[in-house]
Structure 1
Amino acid sequence: MQVAYALTMPRRGMPRLRDRYGDAFTVDMPIFGRTVVISAPAEIKQLFQARSDLADNLDQNLGQVLGRGSLFALTGDEHRRRRKLLVPPFHGRRLAAYEAVVEEETVRELASWPEGRPFPTLPSMMRITLNVILRAVFGAEGAEFARLRELLPAMITLGSRLAVVPVPAVDWGRWSPWGRFWAMRREYDAVVERLITTAERDDRLDERDDILAMLMQSRYHDGSPMSRSEIADELLTLLAAGHETTATTLAWAVERIRRHPTVLRDLVTEVDAGGRTLREATIVEVQRTRPVIDLVGRQVKAETFQLGRWTIPQGYAVLVSIALIHDDEALFPDARAFDPSRFVDAKPDLYQWIPFGGGTRRCVGAAFATMEMDVVLRTLLREFTVEPTTEPDERWRSRGIANAPAGGGRVIVRRRTDRPVAAASGERSEVAR
């Protein structure tokens, strides 16, 4: 009952447990077993910095739906080796090259938006982020691309819900949720197998910027390549992690700025002037006040693990409550208020602001997601006038792994007719750079 309350009422469950038991407490989780939940900054930092022989990846994690070759499923040295191969596509020149892709997909989707009536933005954000990550991963469109665009939304939605459910010992086929998921996974593997085969025949593979091409050419320190199954699992990881959470955060961003007209007005003024400081701070504040993922953690691997004040036995899960630390008044005064100005002149501490997790298991695509949210929000504010609202805040709704706005981030927009020409030219130059 305690766990059900904490997980189904994320804005009340965890805070009430903390109010009653303090900033660390133990619960029995159906999936994780005996679990310590922490929210003290020093203990969170220590957990994220712990050696892998003391505390490492949770035994139950997204690897059960993403595959044994997924970064989520790997531990220790194997995890570090794989992570080194995945970092380059999400930084530097390659990251900048994806900006034009994000803007192109955003403009394409915004062209279908209705004017003058309310509608949820989450479906649109899902389409934008799915198309962006598909193009980033595979590079070009085609029959396989179109099939993945149809297959992945249902597969990811079902998989995110099954990620917190034990894998059954018996396969009941399409009569069961797991059976449906495995059928979709087999189809996904077949599509990726064809894409890999096609890429192997490409004489100009080394000139491509897509992630599939880079993974096929990457090598571990001993010179060995990734296997086809490893590539398939890792691509699914990037497609899943780079799609739903980013889209949900963007829907929350729309929900937040509509209810804060001063912030909305200042964001539009900044966009017209070609700036980005407030927009970047707003994205950070949205992630602080509306974290899409509420828990991140480790499993104790040593016989005991001394975590701050606590000695934790082997096998225990240690979960960090993102909502609790993000709402800590000692770290963020007036924490429940939505106030992007708190991050205008101050970068967030990566052990206190943790929407992407932390330590060696921090989301490898954090920079990509941040860039994508920045470009989508900039394009939206440039193209449309967003009408503010005095409606109550949208409630939280669980989508399995992610917490989304119950109304889907509803909005009323009108296409702008007052867009400054100079600002528009400057934005195109920024994307080109």
Structure 2
Amino acid sequence: MTTVTLPPGPSSPRFVQGAFAATARSRGMQRLRARYGDAFTVNVPIFGRAVVISDPAEIRQLFTEGPDLIENVQPNLGRVLGPGSLFALIGEEHRKQRKLLVPPFHGRRLAAYEKIIEEETVREVASWPEDRAFATLPSMMRITLNAILRAVFGADGAELTELRAMLPPWVAYGSRLAVLPIPKTDLGRWSPWGRFRIARRRYDAIVDRLIDRTVGEDLDGRDDVLALLLQSRYDDGSPMSRAQIADELLTLLVAGHETTATTLAWAVERLRRHPAILRDLAEEADAGGGALREATITEVQRTRPVIDLVGRHVRVDGYRLGRWTLPKGCTVLVGITLLHTDASVFPNPRAFDPSRFLDARPDLYQWIPFGGGRRRCIGAAFAGMEMNVVLRTVLRDFTLLPTTEPDERWHSRGIANAPAKGGRAVVRRRNPRAVPSAPGAAARTGS
């Protein structure tokens, strides 16, 4: 028999560790690393006994293992996104589905989406108040939601209006449910999961109508994801089912919305507290450059990762991960924040310093806001492009005023970590001009 060797960790009861993780996850992880080192074992609800790692070599090993040894953590967001979601699929099914989803988010397709994102940004920021503090997170949420809806479904319409209204509260609700146990007794509409399933049926009905409309149209030359998925085929020539398309579109809508918007709000929060970087960014934008802006977005994601943990599931007994020997079924959690604040990986890690990425692209096993390996976020390139376009547009049209206020604290939204005050900003318009108003812009002014 193989002897299991786990890192040390706290001995407090599971419910105590779970409560601590729910209320002070980031701070708690830092304390555990300070006490036990770069690997430790926790015991928390849903996952049970789990090993948390932050050593770069062990992370690289974990991310590069084959699906026969390591798979996606269980349970995961597939619980709320559906069984056809990339989050829920494993092994060969995951590989086949991912192959179909890669083309819409790479190469020339990104250029087609860039115009959409700039249009949505210009419409939204038209309602921004001047010389008065406001939270940017709601605006960033609307920009990213509208952009991903148009990228996924193409032209606007009644169905997109309906999705625009229902998705934000549903995403926020689902992100909290994803970290809670599913009750054994189904209480229907009177339970949180019951209400969630009712909303899911409403979403499925909307997507079904959109598919009915799309299959009757000429799809040649269309760049929206729905059209591309309807035309895509597996290696055996078979198409994706409607249920698979609905699950994957929901995955793209959720993954391409909240996390990107939250990172943009963190970018505002960071830049207002670093006026020299903010000034250099404005000058670069005026000159038509973008290297510093890209480096800044990378540094925001390093210092303020929206997702602070990514997990894997051990599929064999006696799996050797670096110094440790893990049992079958063990959960391994990669501490993203722990890795990003490791001084041996990023010197002076607490400093916000985009220059560290000006002359070197980040190592994708050390800078991991999108996860890593086979299961790295499929929309990473889209998200990077979107954040670049939104920030470029804001810097072009506004002067973002610096502040001496304390850093905004981390606030957990279930899955994502957001700035507690929503990334508050004070702006002045640089280039007044006529812009189309976003839906409901008048009602949102000053929000």
With the length of structure 2 as denominator, give the TM-score of the two structures: 0.92
Are 1:131 and 2:150 counterparts?
A: no
Asked if the contact 2:17/2:44 (under 8 Å) is kept, the reply is no
Tell me what 2:270 maps to.
256
SS of 2:370 mapped into structure 1: coil
1:427 aligned residue: none
By how many angstroms is 1:224 displaced?
0.7
- Which residue does 1:281 correspond to in 2? 295
**Which residue number in structure 2 is paired with residue 116 of structure 1?**
131
Q: Any idea what SS the aligned residue of 2:25 has? A: coil
Is the aligned partner of 1:346 residue 2:360?
A: yes
What CA distance in whole angstroms lies between the structure 2 residues aligned with 1:143 and 1:336?
47
- Distance in 2, matches of 1:206 and 1:161, equals 40
**Aligned letter for 1:341?**
S
**CA distance, structure 2, for counterparts of residue 166 and residue 19 of structure 1:** 30
Of 101-110 and 165-174, more deviation after overlay is shown by 165-174
Rounded to whole Å, the distance in 1 between the matches of 2:220 and 2:186 is: 41
Q: CA deviation at 1:236?
A: 0.2
Equivalence map 1:360-379=2 (5 Å)? 360-379=374-393
The answer to which of 268-277 and 11-20 deviates more is 11-20
1:333-359 per-residue CA deviation (whole Å, 9 max, x = no partner) reads: 110111111111111000000000000
SS in 2 for 1:207: coil
Distance in 2 (CA, whole Å) between partners of 1:10 and 1:164 is 13
Report the secondary structure of 2:84's partner residue.
Answer: coil
After superposing on structure 2, the runs of 4+ consecutive aligned residues of structure 1 that deviate more than 6 Å are: none
- Structure 1 counterpart of 2:418: 404
Aligned partner of residue 316 in structure 2, secondary structure? coil
Matched letter for residue 128 of structure 2: W
- Structure 1 residues 306 and 181, CA, compared in 2 at 3 Å: closer, same or farther? same
Q: Which residue does 2:343 correspond to in 1?
A: 329
Equivalence for 1:152: 167
Alignment match, 1:242: 256
2:61 is matched with 46
Q: Among residues 331, 334, 344, which one is paired with 1:320 in the alignment?
A: 334
Cα drift, residue 19 of structure 1: 1.1
Say whether residues 1:57 and 2:69 are aligned partners.
no
Partner Cα separation in structure 2 for residue 3 and residue 325 of structure 1: 22
1:184 maps to 199
Going from structure 1 to structure 2, the CA distance change for 1:7 and 1:340 (only over 3 Å counts) comes to: farther
Residues 99-122 of structure 1, C-alpha deviation per residue, up to 9 Å, x if partnerless? 000000000000000001000000
C-alpha displacement of 1:8:
2.5
Separation (CA, whole Å) in 1 of partners of 2:304 and 2:19:
20
One-letter amino acid of the structure 2 residue matched with residue 31 of structure 1: I
Residue identity matched to 2:261: A
Are 2:108 and 1:101 aligned? no
Task: Give 1:291's aligned residue.
Answer: 305
Post-superposition Cα deviations, 1:16-56, rounded to whole Å, max 9, x if no partner, equal: 10111111111112011110000000000000001111110
Residues 110-159 of structure 1, C-alpha deviation per residue, up to 9 Å, x if partnerless? 00000010000000000000000000000011111100001111111111
Tell me, in whole angstroms, the C-alpha distance in 1 between the residues paired with 2:92 and 2:246.
21
Match of 1:66 in 2: 81
Would you say the 8 A contact 2:26–2:308 is kept in 1?
no
* CA–CA separation in structure 2 for the residues paired with 1:13 and 1:260: 27
1:55, 1:305 within 8 Å by CA — same for their partners in 2?
A: no
Amino acid across the alignment from 1:19: A
Asked if the contact 1:156–1:240 (Cα under 8 Å) also holds between the matched residues in 2, the reply is yes
Quote the Cα distance in structure 2 between the aligned partners of 1:375 and 1:165.
Answer: 35
* Whole-angstrom CA distance in 2 between matches of 1:283 and 1:225: 37
Deviation at 1:160, TM superposition (A): 0.6
What's the CA shift string for 1:323-380, capped at 9, x where partnerless? 0000000111110111111111111000000000000000000000000000000000
1:8 aligns with 2:19: no
Say whether 1:90 aligns with 2:105: yes
Q: Quote the Cα distance in structure 2 between the aligned partners of 1:276 and 1:80.
A: 34
**Percent identity between the two aligned chains:** 72
What residue is the counterpart of 1:393 in the other structure?
407
SS of 1:10's equivalent?
A: helix
Aligned amino acid, residue 240 of structure 1: V
CA contact (8 A) 1:3 1:27 kept: no
The SS at the match of 2:176 is helix
Report if aligned partners of 1:6, 1:12 keep a CA contact under 8 Å in 2: no
Give the letter aligned to residue 113 of structure 1. Answer: W
RMSD: 1.1
Mapped partners of 2:25, 2:351: distance in 1: 17
Letter in 2 for 1:175: W
TM-score (ref. length: structure 1): 0.95
Q: Secondary structure at the match of 1:149?
A: helix
SS at match of 1:73: coil
Structure 1, unpaired ranges of 5+:
420-433
Letter of the 1:399 counterpart: R
Take 1:12 and 1:239, find their aligned partners in 2: how far apart are those partners? 30
SS at match of 2:393: helix
- How far is the alpha carbon of 1:2 from its aligned partner? 3.0
How far did 1:165 drift? 1.1
Q: Residue 220 of structure 2 aligns with which residue?
A: 206
**Number of equivalent positions:** 418
For 2:431 and 2:206, the matched residues in 1 are separated by 44
Aligned residue number for residue 188 of structure 2: 173
Deviation track 1:295-344 (CA, whole Å, cap 9, x = no partner) reads 00100001221101110000110000000000000111110111111111
Structure 1 residue 194 corresponds to structure 2 residue 172: no
> How far off is 1:173 after superposition?
2.5
